[in-house]
Structure 1
Amino acid sequence: MRAMILAAGRGERMRPLTDHTPKPLLPVGGKPLIVWHIERLAQAGIREIVINHAHLGQQIEQALGDGRQWQVDIQYSPEQTALETAGGIAQALPLLGEQPFLVVNGDVFTDIDYATLALPATSALPEAKLAHLVMVDNPPQHAQGDFALEYGLVKETGEHKLTFSGVGVYHPQLFQHVVRGQPAKLAPLLKTAMQQALVSGQHHTGIWHDIGTPERLQQIDAWLNTTKNQGDA
Structure 2
Amino acid sequence: MSDAPDQTAITRAFVLAAGLGKRMRPITATVPKPLVEVAGKALIDHALDRAAEGGITEAVVNIHWLADQMEGHLLHRSGRPAITISDEREALLETGGGVKKALALFGTEPFVVFNSDSFWLEGPKPNLSRLIAGWDPEAMDILLLVAPTATSLGYDGAGDFFMDSDSRLAWRGEREVAPFIYAGVAILRPELFADTPDGSFSLTMLFARAIERERCYGLRLDGQWLHVGTPEAIAAAETRVKESASAS
User: TM-score normalized by structure 1?
Assistant: 0.88
Distance 1:53 1:97 in 2: 21
1:22 matched to 2:13? The reply is no
Cα shift at 1:179: 3.4
Cα distance change of structure 1 residues 162 and 48 upon mapping to structure 2, 3 Å threshold: same
Residue 61 of structure 1, aligned match among 52, 67, 71: 71
Distance 1:152 1:223 in 2: 29
Cα shift at 1:47: 1.0
Partner residue, 2:225? 208
Cα shift at 1:201: 1.5
Instruction: Give runs of aligned pairs for residues 109-120 of structure 1, distance below 5 A.
Output: 109-110=119-120, 111=122, 113-119=127-133
Q: Which amino acid aligns with 1:129?
A: M
Which digits, 9 at most, give the CA deviation of each residue in 1:121-147, with x for residues without a partner?
A: xx5133152111111111464442112
Instruction: Give runs of aligned pairs for residues 1-233 of structure 1, distance below 5 A.
Output: 1-65=11-75, 67=77, 69-79=78-88, 80-110=90-120, 111=122, 113-119=127-133, 123-138=134-149, 139=152, 141-150=155-164, 151-157=166-172, 160-180=178-198, 182-225=199-242, 230=246
Given that residues 47 and 73 in structure 1 are in contact (C-alpha distance below 8 angstroms), is that contact kept between their aligned partners in structure 2?
Answer: yes
Distance 1:107 1:40 in 2: 12
Q: Which moved more, 1:72-81 or 1:7-16?
A: 72-81
Cα shift at 1:117: 2.7
Distance 2:129 2:146 in 1: 16
Cα distance change of structure 1 residues 142 and 130 upon mapping to structure 2, 3 Å threshold: farther
How large is the Cα RMSD of the aligned pairs? 2.2
Cα shift at 1:225: 4.6
Report the structure, 1 or 2, having the larger helix content.
Answer: 1
Distance 1:70 1:84 in 2: 28
**1:21 is paired with a residue of what secondary structure?**
coil
Q: Which moved more, 1:58-67 or 1:77-86?
A: 58-67
Partner residue, 2:5? none
Q: Segments of 4+ in structure 1 off by > 6 A?
A: none
**1:207 is paired with a residue of what secondary structure?**
strand
Q: Which amino acid aligns with 2:232?
A: E
